[in-house]
Structure 1
Amino acid sequence: MTTPRNVKQLFDLTGKTALVTGGSRGLGLQMAHALGEAGARIMLSSRKADDLEQAAAELQAANIDARWIAADCSKEEDTRRLADETLERMGQVDILVNNAGASWGAPAEEHPVQAWDKVLNLNVRGYFILSQQIARASMIPRKSGRIINIASIAGLGGNPREMKTIAYNTSKSAVIGFTQTLACEWGHYGINVNAICPGFFMTKMAAGLIQQLGEDKMAAHAPLGRLGDTEDLKGITLLFASDAGKHITGQHIAVDGGVSAVVAG
């Protein structure tokens, strides 16, 4: 029997490479920091080169090995190019964080079909294409890998009437099902697949809704009485990415200050 590793060793990502989509700001950049701080090399991706350049510089200032590739993961050709270029430049991908996402606010009876397609293409189809390509080229041959899909507590149930985001909620429910199914199919390849379900964080995507409904009112829905901050996804990201979570797969965990527990109760 091998000697059990200590906690620091289990969480250590030295020598690992992570690809983080939607990584130029917000939750994606927070997760990139977590992975880089644990020793991983980081490849960031999002649509805008200027944002990526700034994000990579921020990571590099924290002594993290970070590069970037601009790509729109709602487009299949961009997604495949992202996978190919990442593998060419980094050699392998040990950790894939599918975080790129979009939302659209409109009542269900008025929701444009093209907006529905835009949200589902990025939030679900893009996750599948990138996961498939990275796994086939890098994870399956090495019998090792971690895939972290960013879902949402919006994927766990319906919304209050004032939150009209049917396409977003549907896409995040699909991400949870995708995570569970992929974990079952790829477990024998040594690939762990899990999902994080963030609650409300003060991100650019959520800023309009938070402003509309009121930050204090939204925070009051959480038993912890606050919105998510710039540290709150770091721990779960590192758990799912590292050997500390090597026996966890097919799971989705809410990081929401307890909001989903209130709903479930």
Structure 2
Amino acid sequence: PGEQKLEIDRRRIQERIDEIRKQIGEADKNRIVQRQLRKKNEIPVVSLVGYTNAGKSSIMNCLIRLSGDQDEERHVFEKDMLFATLDTYNRRILLEDKKMFILTDTVGFVSKLPHSLVSAFKATLEEALNADLLLHVVDASNAHYKMQMEVTMRVLKELGADAIPMVTVYNKIDKGSLVNDGTSESAYISAKTGENVELLLEQIKSKIFKDHLLGKFLVPYSEGRVASYLCETYKVEEMDYLEEGTMIVAEVSIADYNRYSAFLV
């Protein structure tokens, strides 16, 4: 009976491993398409990374709600369990000033990952390589949080993602006792209570939109397409209709600043 139970347990574990591999393989195809679209549209990407069960999905849902999106269908699955997230979720965060970024939630890291799953999980985590900013989520209430941070940083280094700008997000401060170090490279929040999540969003914005420039554009009426694009894409600070065309003052990305430099005055 003991041998029979052991064999059943082994079979169940192998079935679970096969299921995870299948899910990751299917997700790979979707990620490639989504990545190409993001690159084409020049939308900044922020990736949540960290040890499994640190609260990455909870933080993602907090930021989705904070952006004004109350659609529950856009929220991601969150549960207090290992590998609650196996796919890489992508959500567009549209802010009040029309700035936007893509927030991705990656599979959680773990120490002593079974050898048969290492390559598959690393393929999923490679999404972090395409990020403009990493949010390293840490469970501040876990007694072993330093070890978990080390595991995360080691995997990021192996992936070649350790040079990407990063904010360390100490989550679950409602349960822990860490002291805020007051730097712009760290955030101390509680996804459960919502404490300091707004401050985290401001930190994200200061990092990924730091290259935005205030431009004053005089767009001829014959170039209405350009005027429409600027008005639809950015928050317009000033607009006036002059004899020569439409005067638009807006804070734009450096890419669009250069792209429409011919209209700068």
**Same fold flag (TM > 0.5):** no
Tell me the TM-score normalized by structure 1.
Answer: 0.38
Which is bigger in relative contact order (C-alpha 8 A, separation at least 6)? 1
Return the structure number with greater strand share. 2
Highest Rg: 1 or 2?
Answer: 2
